[in-house]
Structure 1
Amino acid sequence: MTTGHTSAPRIGVLAVQGDVVEHLRALEASGADPHPVRRDSELVGIGGLVIPGGESTTIDRLSRIFGLHDPVRDLIASGLPVYGSCAGMIQLADEILDGHQDQQTFGGIDMTVRRNAFGRQVDSFEADLRVEGIVRPEEPFRTVFIRAPWVERLGDDVEVLARVEGHPVAVRQGALLATSFHPEVTGDHRIHDLFVRMVKEHA
C-alpha cells in the first residue's frame, strides 16, 4: 500500500489485533506509506508506528508472543514517533489501572490511564470535541469512544489536546501521541495528518 510519492514517510501499523485496516487507510489518505507490522523485522526502516484500537490485553499478549514487545519498547525509548488510539493509548501509558494482573504496556508517556473508563461496549458514544494541535482546531472533531480509557494522572511534560467531562482523552508527549477515541473510523483524517507531520518533523 503506497501513495506513489517518494516523500511519503513509511509508517508501520502494529497488526496483531484491532483496527489495523482502518489505520492503514487513514494514513494513506494523510500522505503516508503505511505497512502492517506483524514481526520485528517489519519494524526496520519505519519512520513512525501506530498502535491501533482493539483489546489492550490481547495486543499485549500477542506482541509478546510474536517477539514485538521489547523491540517496540526500544524504538519508543529511542524517540520513534508513535501514535496509539484507544487500546493503543493504554499501551503507551507508563501505568494502567484496572489492567489484568500480568498486563504490560510499551510505555513512553508519563501518564496513568484507566481501562474501560467510560463503560462497556453498550456505553459507547460519540462527541464533537475541540482538539488542539490539528489543522483547523476550531472545527469540531467527531470522536468515537468504544470501551475507551481516560487519563487519570499526567506528568509535567504531557500536553493535553482534548478533554471529555474534564478527563484528558487526547495527549502528546514529544514524539508520542495518544487518543482515547477512534479517529480511524470517522473519515476525518486530521489526527492522522498531525501524526504524519510529527513523523516528517522527526525525520
Structure 2
Amino acid sequence: MTSPNHFHPRAHTLDARRPRALFPALVPPDSRPTIGVLALQGDVREHSLALEAAGARPVVVRRSADLGETPGDRIDGIVIPGGESTTMSTLLGSFGMLNPLRELIGTGLPAYGSCAGMIMLADRVEGAEEGQTFLGGIDMTVRRNAFGRQVDSYEEDLVAPALGAGQDRPLRAVFIRAPWVEDVGRGVEILATTRAGRAAGVGGADGGRIVAVRQGALLATSFHPEVGGDHRVHDVFVSMVTRRA
C-alpha cells in the first residue's frame, strides 16, 4: 500500500509526448501595413474597422510620438477623419502635431482625408477662418461647407468608375456638412463626381461636383465612406500604402 505521504513527482512536460513545449511555434510577423487614424475628431472607430476590412492594421494616433520620425517608422500611412476643420487645425497645433504631420506628408507618408480631412489636405481653401492652418499636399481648391449645413446632409450614388462603381454596383456616398473641390492642378486625378449639384465647367465630363481626388500618395474624399460598410475607398488607400511600404 502506498503511503499517503509518499511524494509523487509531476511528469516533466518537456518530453517527446509534448513536442510543442520543446519547439514552440513561432508567431508569424504581421505583414499588413500599419495605418494610423488621427483620433482628434470624427469616425475613428468606423475608419479603423474599414481599414481592417481592407487588409490593414489600424492604430490610433493621438500625439506626435505616435507618428514616428519618418514614413514607415511607426506608421505606413494615416487617415484624417471628418469633423470640423477649424477645430481640427487648432487641436493639431495644440498637441504639437501640425508641423510633424505636415513634414511627414511632404516626405511621402501616404494620407487619406475624408470631409474635414479633405480640407486639411488642400493647398487652397475657400471659406477658411482667419488664421486657420492646413496640412496641404494636394494641388486643389476646396470650398468649406459647400453642400450646406448639417440639415442639408444627404446621400447619392456617385459617378466613380475609378473607384469600381458602376450601374451594377453603385458607390453610395454620405455627405455631412461636406466640402467640394472647386478646381485641381494638372497632377491631380479626379476619382469621383456627384450627379446632383451640376455646374457648367466644374467636375468631370458630366459636370458633377468633384468629391474624390488623388495626387501621388494622397487621397481625399468630401464624403464619408466609413459609413455604410462599403470599403472600396479604403481598399484603394490600403493599396496605395502597400505599394509604397
Q: Report the TM-score range of the alignment, normalised by the length of the smaller protein.
A: over 0.9
Residues 110-148 of structure 1, C-alpha deviations (whole Å, 9 max, x = no match):
0110000010001001011132433x3322101000000
The match for 1:29 is: 53
Report if the CA contact (8 A) 1:117-1:147 is conserved: yes
Q: Which has the higher helix share?
A: 1
3-state SS of the aligned residue for 1:107? Answer: coil
3-state SS of the aligned residue for 2:48? Answer: helix
Q: What number of residue pairs does the alignment pair up? A: 199
The match for 2:190 is: 160
Residues 15-38 of structure 1, C-alpha deviations (whole Å, 9 max, x = no match):
111111111111111111101111
The match for 1:60 is: 89
1:175: Cα distance to partner? 0.6
CA distance in structure 2 between the partners assigned to 1:130 and 1:114 by the alignment: 20
CA distance in structure 2 between the partners assigned to 1:48 and 1:20 by the alignment: 15
The match for 2:38 is: 14
3-state SS of the aligned residue for 1:140? Answer: coil
Residue correspondence of structure 1 range 1-203 to structure 2 within 5 A = 6-44=30-68, 45-134=74-163, 136-138=164-166, 139-164=169-194, 165=198, 166-203=208-245
1:188–1:106 distance in 2 versus 1, CA, 3 Å: same
Residues 152-175 of structure 1, C-alpha deviations (whole Å, 9 max, x = no match):
121110010111232210000011
Is 180-189 or 136-145 further displaced after alignment?
Answer: 136-145
Residues 34-92 of structure 1, C-alpha deviations (whole Å, 9 max, x = no match):
01111111012200000001111111100000010001100110011100000000000
3-state SS of the aligned residue for 2:220? Answer: strand
Instruction: Select the structure with the greater relative contact order (CA < 8 A; seq sep ≥ 6).
Output: 1
1:5: Cα distance to partner? 7.0
1:39–1:137 distance in 2 versus 1, CA, 3 Å: same
3-state SS of the aligned residue for 2:230? Answer: coil
CA distance in structure 1 between the partners assigned to 2:148 and 2:40 by the alignment: 24
Q: What percent of counterpart residues are identical?
A: 62
3-state SS of the aligned residue for 2:86? Answer: helix
1:177: Cα distance to partner? 0.2
CA distance in structure 2 between the partners assigned to 1:175 and 1:107 by the alignment: 13
CA distance in structure 2 between the partners assigned to 1:82 and 1:5 by the alignment: 24
3-state SS of the aligned residue for 2:229? Answer: coil
Q: For structure 2, which runs of at least 5 residues remain unmatched after alignment?
A: 1-27, 69-73, 199-207
3-state SS of the aligned residue for 2:226? Answer: helix
* Amino acid corresponding to residue 174 of structure 1 in structure 2: G
Report if the CA contact (8 A) 2:162-2:192 is conserved: no
The match for 2:24 is: none
CA distance in structure 2 between the partners assigned to 1:42 and 1:195 by the alignment: 20
Q: Which contiguous aligned blocks of 4+ residues in structure 1 show a shift greater than 3 angstroms? A: none
